[in-house]
Structure 1
Amino acid sequence: MPVVALTALVSMDHIPGTEISLTVPYAAEGPGPTFNTLGEVDGEPVVDVEGVPVDETSGNLNMTTVSVRSNMTLAQALGRWLTTDDTLVPIEQVFPPNRSPEEIQESNQQAFTASEASATVAAMNYLDVPIQVAVVDVLPDSAAAGHVEPGDVVTAVDGAPVDMPGQVRQQVQAKQPGDEVVLGLERDGERIDRTVTLGEHPDDPAVALLGITMTSEPTEDMSVEYNLTDIGGPSAGMMFSLAVIDKLSPGELNGGKFVAGTGTISEDGTVGPIGGIVHKVRAAEEIGAELFLAPAANCAEAVSRDPEDLVVARVETLEDAIEQMENFAAGEAVDTCTAS
Structure 2
Amino acid sequence: MVNLEKGNARRPHRRALTLGLVAVLVLALAVAGAVMPVPYVSLRPGPTMNTIGANPETDKPLIEITGAQTHPASGHLNFTTVAYTGGPKRPISLFTALRDWLNGERAVVPQETIFPKDETVEEVEEENTFLMEDSQQTSVAAALIQMGQKPTTVSAVQSVEKGLPADGVLRPGDEILAVAGTKADRTSRVTGALKQYKPGQSVELTIRRDGKEQRVSMTLAPAPDDANRAVIGVVLRDRYVFPIDVKISVGDIGGPSAGLMFSLGIYDLLTPGDLTGGKFVAGTGTITPEGQVGAIGGIQQKMLGARKAGATVFLVPAGNCDEAVTAAPDGLRLVKAETLDGAVKALQSLQSGQGAVPGCSAS
**Shared fold (TM-score, shorter chain, > 0.5):** yes
2:310 counterpart letter in structure 1: G
Distance 2:281 2:103 in 1: 28
Match of 1:10 among 14, 25, 33: 33
Aligned to 2:13: none
Deviation at 1:156, TM superposition (A): 4.7
Say whether residues 1:56 and 2:72 are aligned partners.
yes
- In structure 2, the residue matched to 1:293 is 315
Question: Secondary structure, in 3 states, of the residue corresponding to 1:5?
Answer: helix
Contact 1:264 1:271 in 2 (8 A): yes
Given the alignment of the two structures, is residue 319 of structure 1 paired with residue 341 of structure 2, yes or no? Answer: yes
Alignment length (residue pairs): 319
Contact 2:300 2:328 in 1 (8 A): no
Match of residue 15 from structure 1: none
Matched position secondary structure for 2:326: coil
How far the C-alpha of 1:130 sits from its partner, in A, is 3.5
Q: Which residue of 2 aligns with 1:271?
A: 293
In structure 2, do the counterparts of structure 1 residues 275 and 83 end up closer, same or farther at CA, with 3 Å as the change threshold?
closer
Amino acid at match of 1:23: P
Paired amino acid for 1:8? V
Superposition deviation, residue 191 in structure 1: 4.8
1:111 CA drift (Å): 1.3
* Counterpart residue number, 2:9: none
Gaps of 5+ in 1: 13-21, 202-207
SS at match of 2:314: strand
Alpha-carbon spacing, 1:43–1:288, altered in 2? closer, same or farther (3 Å): closer
Query: For 1:88, which of 84, 100, 108 is the aligned residue?
Result: 108
Q: 2:52 is paired with a residue of what secondary structure?
A: coil
Shift of 1:175: 8.5
Q: How far apart, CA to CA, are the structure 2 residues paired with 1:251 and 1:198?
A: 57
Structure 2-normalised TM-score? 0.77
1:281 and 2:287 correspond: no
SS of the aligned residue for 1:68 comes to: strand
Deviations 1:180-202 (A, max 9, x none): 8975422333253566769789x
Aligned-partner residue type, residue 168 of structure 1? T
1:30 aligns with 2:44: yes
Are 1:67 and 2:83 matched, yes or no? Answer: yes
Residues 90 and 117 of structure 1: CA distance in aligned 2, closer, same or farther (over 3 Å) = same
Q: Does 1:259 align with 2:275?
A: no
1:210 aligns with 2:210: no
> Which stretch of structure 1 is more off in the superposition, 150-159 or 123-132?
150-159
The one-letter amino acid paired with 2:262 is F
Compute the displacement of 1:2 (Å): 1.9
Report the secondary structure of 1:72's partner residue.
Answer: coil
**Mean Cα deviation higher: 121-130 or 32-41:** 121-130
Q: 1:179 to 1:2 in 2, by over 3 A?
A: farther
* Residue matched to 1:120: 140
Q: Which stretch shifts more, 138-147 or 289-298?
A: 138-147
Q: Residue 174 and residue 317 in structure 1: after superposition, are their counterparts in 2 closer, same or farther (change >3 A)?
A: farther
Most deviating of 112-121 and 79-88? 79-88
- What secondary structure does 2:327 align onto? coil
- The answer for the alignment partner of 2:215 in structure 1 is 192
What amino acid sits opposite 1:34 in the alignment? T
CA contact (8 A) 2:206 2:213 kept: no
The amino acid that maps onto 2:235 is G
CA contact (8 A) 1:132 1:155 kept: no
The amino acid of 1:87's aligned partner reads A
Match of 2:275, SS state, is: coil
Letter of the structure 2 residue corresponding to residue 319 of structure 1: D
Q: Which residue identity lines up with residue 247 of structure 2 in the other structure?
A: E
Q: Secondary structure at the match of 1:83?
A: coil
2:362 aligned counterpart, secondary structure? coil
Q: TM-score, normalising length from structure 1?
A: 0.82
Question: For structure 2, which runs of at least 5 residues remain unmatched after alignment?
Answer: 1-23, 226-231
Give the match for residue 246 of structure 2: 224
Q: Secondary structure at the match of 1:243?
A: helix
Structure (1 or 2) with the greater helix fraction: 2
Read off the aligned partner of 1:281 and give its amino acid letter.
M
Amino acid across the alignment from 1:40: A
Fraction of identical pairs, as percent: 36
Question: Is contact 1:238-1:318 (8 Å) kept?
Answer: yes
CA contact under 8 A between 1:139 and 1:212: conserved in structure 2? no
Q: Give the distance between the partners of 2:349 and 2:292, measured in 1 at CA.
A: 20
What is the CA RMSD across the aligned residues, in angstroms? 3.2
How far does residue 289 in structure 1 lie from its aligned partner after superposition?
A: 0.9
Structure 1 residue 100: Cα displacement: 0.9
CA deviations on 1:233-258 (whole Å, 9 max, x unpaired) are 11111111111111111111222221
CA deviations over 1:239-286 (Å, ceiling 9, x no partner): 111111111111112222211111111111111111111211121111
